[in-house]
Structures are given as C-alpha cells and as structure tokens.
Structure 1
Amino acid sequence: MAEYDTIRTTTGAGARAGVRIDEGLRAHMNKVYGLMSIGLLMTGLVAWAVAGLAITGTPTGAQIGANSYLTSFGVALYTSPLRWVVMLLPLGMVFGFGAAINRLSYGGAQLFFYAFAAAMGLSISSIFIVFTGVSIAQTFLVTAIAFASLSLYGYTTKRDLSAMGAFLMMGLVGIIVAMIVNIFLQSPAVGFAVSILGVLIFAGLTAFDTQAIKTQYIQMAQSGDQEWLGKSAIMGALKLYLDFINLFMFLLQFMGNRN
C-alpha cells in the first residue's frame, strides 16, 4: 500500500507513471468486477433453469411440497449418487483451475471461469426448491450491499489487511471440516455455528481479497505483461465470485424462508 502512495506523490516521470498506474488499476478492477458479475449472472440463470427442469406441478412419486414434485431429472439430480458429483464438481474445478492457469491462454482461462460459474449454478440449484423465491431475492440484495461495502473498504483502506489472510484461511479450513462432519451428525447447533462463522469469514475475505488484487496489480503493472494481467483479472474475479457466493449461501441460512 505504501508503494501506491509513493507513486502518486512523486513528481515528473514518477507522477506520470503514477497516473498510468491509477488508470490501469481502475480498468483492471472494472474488468475484475465485470467478469465476476457475468459469472454471478450465469450461475443464477443456470440454477433457475435447472430447478425449473427438476420441479413439476404434475403429481409424481417424488413429492417435495404441497403442489410440487420432482421430475425424473430432479430425482436423478437430487436423490441419486449423482448429487455428490454435482456438489463436488465446482470444488474440483477450482483446484484444476489453479493448477492449469499458467498453461491456459487468456481466452481459455475466461472460458474455464464461465464453465465453473455454470457448474456452480448446477450445484446450488436446489435453493430454488428449498427456499422461496422472495427470500432468495431479498438475501441476494442484502449480500450485494454487504459485498459492495466490504469490497469498497478493502479497496480504499490504508490499513494493511495481509495479516488477516492466514487467520481467515485457517477459519475457512475449519468450517469446511465442520460442514463435512455435520453431513453425518446433522446437528442444527453445529449448522448454526458454521453459518455464523461462514458469514464472518467471507466478509473478511471480501475485503482482504479486494486489497490483495489491488496490491498485486500495483506490484506487477510496470512489467507490461498484458497476458498475465488479463489472467490475473480472471483469478481476481474468481476469488471475489467465491466470496460473494459463499456469503450469499451462509446468509440464506438465516434469511431464507423455506418452502
């Protein structure tokens, strides 16, 4: 962060370089948020479309509500072993993306990100079965406001948030382990605690990741490697996308009205 301030307060050639970095940083962050927004839109559309294919008003043997039933596609997706593949697919793609990012072109990385966003939509499509549409919309709005505020703080604060990183990652590993254990325990108390911690951790990660994306750009901007900067924007969009989605999902546990 100190480097950013130093660049802006120099004169002559240093000042001109600072202006170029400022302009490039704004363009870079706009690209990050733009990619993230497209990813979120794709996730929402896929989740809504898949849920529409999985639910019918025609009586079948798989009733899930007063006037709702699962289609054969819904039965296969949500009640067969296929559901584990669908649940774990986005996680596998994230690890694969991290391993392959250096070998992918910018276009390939962008395509992979959109494919991941579609896979995430498939994975979370059941929210349209479990929760009412109104509560999903309300939770999304609250998440968007909270995310924008936290990301703005991460972008503008002069405080170095890097010390938060290790603590937040430890907390993230902890809640993943707790969620896996609770699949078998089915404890409401553990689920409630995990949701609270999840909201706090991803709120912190939103600010932390925003500052990290900004700092990384400032450190590497003068290299002039446009291919790297483009892929860096995609990786930044992926991080903020995951922060948003997880914040939304944990908030939905509190705010969502169940069907």
Structure 2
Amino acid sequence: MANWQDPQTTGVNTTTATVGVPRAARDAGLRSYMLSVYNYMASGVLLTGIIALLFAPYAGQVLVGANGGLSGLGWIVTLSPLAIVFAMSFGMNRMSTGTLQLLFWAFAGLMGLSMSTLFLAYTGVSIAQTFFATAAAYTGLSLYGYTTKRDLSGLGTFLIMGVVGLLVAMLINLFLQSSAMALAISAIGVLLFAGLTAYDTQRIKSLYFYVQGTDMVGKTVIMGALQLYLDFINMFQFLLSFMGQRR
C-alpha cells in the first residue's frame, strides 16, 4: 500500500505533535482513536459477511462462467476492491474524510460479493469455524501489537517482503497446480498476516501521536481500519484454504 502511514507525508509537524498535551488527554484521545479504527474495521467485516451470506445462493449463477471460471461480472467484482484500495491509498491526501468513508463501505460491500463464492467451495460449517478461529487469533495478535513495548518496525520490513514472495509463489503455482505448494502457501500466508496484524496495530497506534489535533485524524482512522480489515480477511482466507472442508 502507499505510504499513508508515514508521518512525513501527512504534513504534520512531528516535533510538536504532542507538546503541551497532558498525558491523560493523550491517553483518552488514543483510546477513542483506536476504538474508532476497530469499530470501522469490525463494521466492514460484518458488512462483508452479511453480503457474502445473502448473495451466496446466487454466486454460482452470476459470478461463475460456463467453464467454471469467473464470469465477466465475476472478474469485475473481484478486481474492483483492489482498485478501490489503490485509489484510497494514493488519493488519501486529496480526498475528504467523507469520500474515504464511502469508498471503504463500497470496498467492504464488493468484498462481500466476491467472497460469496467461498460458499461454493467450502461448507458453511467450516467457513464459520474458520471465521471464529481467525477472530480469536486476530484479537489476541492485535491486542499484543497495541500493548507491547517492543518496536515491531523491523519485523514489518521482513513481513512485507514475505508477502511479496508469497504473491510470486502464488503466481507460480497457478501454472504448477501443486497441492503441496498450495498448502505451504496457505500456512505461510497465515503466519505472515498474523505478524502483520500486530505490526499494523502498533503502527496505527503510533501514527495517532502525529495526527492528533489535525484534520488528518478522520482520514487515518479510515485507512487504519482498511489496513486491519485486509489483515483479517487475508488471514481468514489463507486459514480457510489450509483447514477448510471442501464440498
């Protein structure tokens, strides 16, 4: 994603962001800020889940083509969320908070349509079990990222490089069609996004001290929720492919 979380790109004076602000006020502001991030993220996941569940009976007819692959509409639904992520990431500074909010909800809704196809490949029970397992693990990892005093910035570089390598492996396996490689990719994917959950939580928390008191707060709340949403959804999908029961 774009460097929206780099304080140097926000136009905020990082040397004076917290000067003169009482500690109690900073702590209360941070709690409110992180609660807003989590509320948006959880609401986005909930919207995605509801739409996926409601649209699942029609996914095979609308999103899947005659050859078993994605239909034209299926490709549009699948690629549109990626386009929205890039638009939000690179256009954050030019967009208003309201525009980012609308794009976030549109993204979550389109992800619901796209993920409705999971019900064609996996049983409803295994999807539910994987979701709750992901939610439990995610909560613990994000809590660790929020509370730990350890600097996770070095870990983030390694994890991002790992995600790039994972994408390359997934492209290679499109041609190899190796089940063993697919299993390894799923296992590594779970671990990478588990680490990113803790890393991104700490980074979003740290960013608050640079944007507090500015008009960037609302924007960074939305972008932070988007990042945590992506961590959750990716971890869920990799875990589902690793332990989900296929139809």
Which TM class, normalised by the smaller chain length? 0.7 to 0.9
* 2:12 is aligned with 1:21: no
**Who is 2:221 aligned against?**
233
- Which residue of 139, 142, 148 maps to 1:157? 148
**Who is 2:232 aligned against?**
244
TM-score by length of 1: 0.83
Amino acid at match of 1:214: K
Are the equivalent residues in 1 in contact too, given 2:63–2:71 (CA < 8 A)?
no
Aligned length: 227
**Who is 2:190 aligned against?**
199
Change (3 A) 1:79 1:163: closer
Instruction: In structure 2, list runs of 5 or more residues that go unmatched.
Output: 1-18
Structure exhibiting the larger radius of gyration computed from Cα positions: 1
- Which residue of 84, 106, 110 maps to 2:101? 110
CA distance in structure 2 between the aligned counterparts of 1:75 and 1:189, rounded to whole angstroms: 26
Are the equivalent residues in 1 in contact too, given 2:63–2:74 (CA < 8 A)?
no
For the aligned residue pairs, the C-alpha RMSD in angstroms reads 1.7
CA distance in structure 1 between the aligned counterparts of 2:122 and 2:71, rounded to whole angstroms: 21
* 2:53 is aligned with 1:48: yes
Amino acid at match of 1:201: L
Amino acid at match of 1:48: L
TM-score by length of 2: 0.87
CA drift of 1:33 comes to 0.3
CA drift of 1:47 comes to 1.3
Task: Please give the residue correspondences for 1:33-182 in structure 2 after superposition, counting only pairs within 5 Å.
Answer: 33-54=38-59, 70-71=60-61, 73-76=62-65, 78-182=69-173
CA drift of 1:75 comes to 3.8
Change (3 A) 1:29 1:243: same
Instruction: In structure 1, list runs of 5 or more residues that go unmatched.
Output: 1-12, 55-69
CA drift of 1:76 comes to 4.2
CA drift of 1:45 comes to 1.4
CA drift of 1:81 comes to 4.1
Moved more, 98-107 or 19-28: 98-107
Quick one: higher RCO (CA 8 Å, sep 6+), 1 or 2? Answer: 2
- Which residue of 219, 225, 243 maps to 1:255? 243
Percent identity between the aligned chains?
54
